[in-house]
Amino acid sequence: MSWDKHDYDHIPGTYVFNGERSSQGYNINKMAFSFNESTNREAFADDMDAYCRKFQLSDEARAAVLEGDFLGLMRLGGNIYYLAKIAIFHGYTVQDAGAQMGGISTEEFKAKLSKNSEGFEQKLTTIGGYFHG
Amino acid sequence: MAKIVGGITTSHIPAIGNAISQGLQQDPYWKRFFDGYKPVKEWLAKVQPDVAIIVANDHGLNFFLDTVPTFAMGAAASYENADEGWGLKTLTGFDGDAPFSWHMIESLVADKFDMTICQEMRVDHGFVVPMTVLWGDHEQWPVKLIPLAVNTVQHPLPTAERCFELGKALRTAIESYDDDTKVVIIGTGGMSHQLQGERAGIIDTEFDIECIEKIIHDPEWFAQLSNTEIMEKAGTEGIETIMWMVMRGALTDKVNVVHKHYHAPISNTGAGVLVLENTSNE
C-alpha cells in the first residue's frame, strides 16, 4: 500500500488537498461539516473534548482542535474550508488562521497581501482598457 | 431558441457578501472594487437575462467529502442558501428553471459530460455572493439561478482544458433549448489566493492580469496550463479561476469586451471582473 506522489508536492508551505490528506483528515472535516447545524455548534461549544471524541478524532487532532492549531490541523488532513468552520470557535477568521499558519500577526498578514499587490494599477494602465474607478 | 447574452466573471469570497451587508461599498478599502461592478450592473439592466448559470464550487455546504462530484448541475425549481457554520444571515427565494436544467443535462450527458444531477441543492457563498454583488439583495430575485458546481476542493480536480470543453458543450446545450430564454453565464472564484499553509497570503497580480488577457483573447493558452502550474503561481485556492473557463468556453472564439476590471487585494485575493459578449458573426 502506498500513496501516489504528485507533481505539486514540491510547492513549499502548501498542503494540496488530495486523497491522502482527505483520507487522513476525514473525521476532522466531518466534525467541521457538522457545524453547519447550529445545535451541533452549541454541543461542541459545551464540551469540545467530548464532541471531538464523538467524531473519533486522534489525540493529536483533538489537541489541535482544542488549541486552534491550524497548521497542525492542515498537517493532519484538515481542509481549509472545513477548518474555517472550526476557526470561528477560536474567534478566528480564515485570514487570522492564514496569518497563524504563516507565523505572523493578522496585521502583518494584511500588510503582506497589500505588498504582494503593489503596482497592479500600473500594469492595467500599460495594457489598457481596464476600468479605473 | 435560448440565447447566450454574455459571460461575466467575479470573485465569490464571503468577505464581499459581508461588506455588502455592512454597507461598506464606499469604504476606502472597498470602493475601487465595488465601483468596478457599476458597468456590470448597467449591462445587466440593459440585456435583462432570464437565467444566470452560476459556475462555482461548493465549500462544504451541499456536498461533504463523502461524495464529491466533479461537475454537478442543479435541476430544481428553487434553491436555498443555508448556514455554512458561521451563523450568518441566509438569503432565500432563488428560483430555478427545472425544464431548462434537464434540457442542459440531457445535452451535456449526450456530449459525454456525465453531470451529477441535483434536484435539491443548498447554494453556499460561492453562488450567493455573485448574485448579491451583481443584482443586490432581493426577496424575489430578478433572474433565475441555475447552479453548476465544479469541484475545486478535493483533488484530483478537472483541468482548465476540461472546464473549457464543458463550456463548449454548455453552449450547445443552451442554444438547442427551444425557448426564448436569455442566458448569462457567470464564472466565479479566483483569482490568485492561497488560504492555507505557510504559503498563505500569496497574490500574483502579474499572473492574474496575464490570465485575464489570455482568457479573453487566447483561452487555449490558459486551457493548456496544468493545475499544478496554476497552483504554483496563483495558489491552491487560486485554482478556482479554472471555473472562468466554463464561461469562456460557452462564448464565441472571439469576444467583445464590454468591461474588464481588476483589484487587489480584496481580503486574501486578486479580484477580476469581466463582461464579455459573443461576436455576432459566429
Summarize pLDDT for A56-88 with one digit per residue, the tens. 999 999 999 999 999 999 999 999 999 999 999
Name the average pLDDT for chain A.
Answer: 97
Peptide bond into B265 cis (omega under 30): yes
SS (H, E, C) A58-75: CHHHHHHHHHCCHHHHHH
Which of B93, B92, B122, B129 shows the shortest CA–CA distance to B18? B129
pLDDT digits (tens, 9 = 90+) for A81-96: 999 999 999 999 999 9
Q: Which three cell numbers stand for residue B25?
A: 461599498
Instruction: Decide if B261 and A131 are in contact by the 8 Å CB cutoff.
Output: yes
- The predicted-structure confidence for B16-67, as pLDDT tens digits, reads as follows 999 999 999 999 999 999 999 999 999 999 999 999 999 999 999 999 999 9
Amino acid at A6: H
Q: Which three cell numbers stand for residue B79?
A: 434553491
Which cell numbers hold the place of B178?
Answer: 427551444
Q: How many beta-carbon pairs under 8 angstroms link A with B?
A: 164
Q: What is the pLDDT of residues A110-130, one digit of tens each?
A: 999 999 999 999 999 999 999
The C-alpha of B126 sits at a distance from chain A's nearest C-alpha, in angstroms, of 12
Kindly list the catalytic residues of B.
125, 193
ipTM above threshold 0.85: yes
Q: How far is A2 from chain B (nearest CA, A)?
A: 17
**Using the beta-carbon criterion (under 8 Å), do B64 and A30 form an inter-chain contact?**
yes
* Cell representation of residue A19: 486523497
Sort B79 into a burial class: Cβ within 10 Å, 0-12 / 13-18 / 19+.
buried
Does pTM top 0.90 for this prediction? Answer: yes
Confidence (pLDDT) at B93: 86
For residue A86, give the chain B residue with the closest CA.
Answer: B85
The amino acid present at A118, given as its one-letter code, is E
Mean pLDDT across the stretch A6-28? 98
The residue with cell 459573443 is: B278
Q: Do B196 and A30 touch (CB under 8 A)?
A: no
**A8, A123, A129 ranked by CB distance to B231: nearest:** A8
Q: Is B169 exposed, middle or buried (0-12, 13-18, 19+ CB in 10 A)?
A: buried
Which chain B residues are within 8 Å of A127, Cβ to Cβ?
Answer: 209, 213
Q: Which residues of chain B have pLDDT under 50?
A: none
Say what the pLDDT of residue A49 is: 98
Interface-testing mutation among B196, B206, B218, with chain A (most A C-beta atoms within 10 A): B196
Number of H helices, E strands in chain A: 10, 0
Separation of alpha carbons B114 and A107, rounded Å = 45
Q: Residue B13: its pLDDT value, please?
A: 95
- Residues in chain B, total: 282
Cell numbers at B132, concatenated:
448579491
Give the integer Cα–Cα distance in Å for B240 and B9. 11
B53 contacts B148 by C-beta, under 8 angstroms: yes
Specify the pLDDT at position B88: 83
Q: What is the dihedral of CA A17, A68, A42, B86, to 10 degrees?
A: -60
Contacts of A129 in chain B (CB under 8 A): 257, 260
pLDDT digits (tens, 9 = 90+) for B95-126: 999 999 999 999 999 999 999 999 999 999 99
Q: CA of B99 to nearest chain A CA: how many angstroms apart?
A: 30
The C-alpha of B105 sits at a distance from chain A's nearest C-alpha, in angstroms, of 28
Cα distance between residue B247 and residue B54, in whole Å = 9
Chain B residues touching residue A79 (CB < 8 angstroms): 60, 65, 153-154
Q: Do B198 and A32 touch (CB under 8 A)?
A: no
CB B170 within 8 Å of CB B249: yes
Give the DSSP H or E segment for A98. helix A94-101
Beta-carbon separation of B85 and A112 below 8 A? no
CB contact under 8 A, B155 and A16: yes
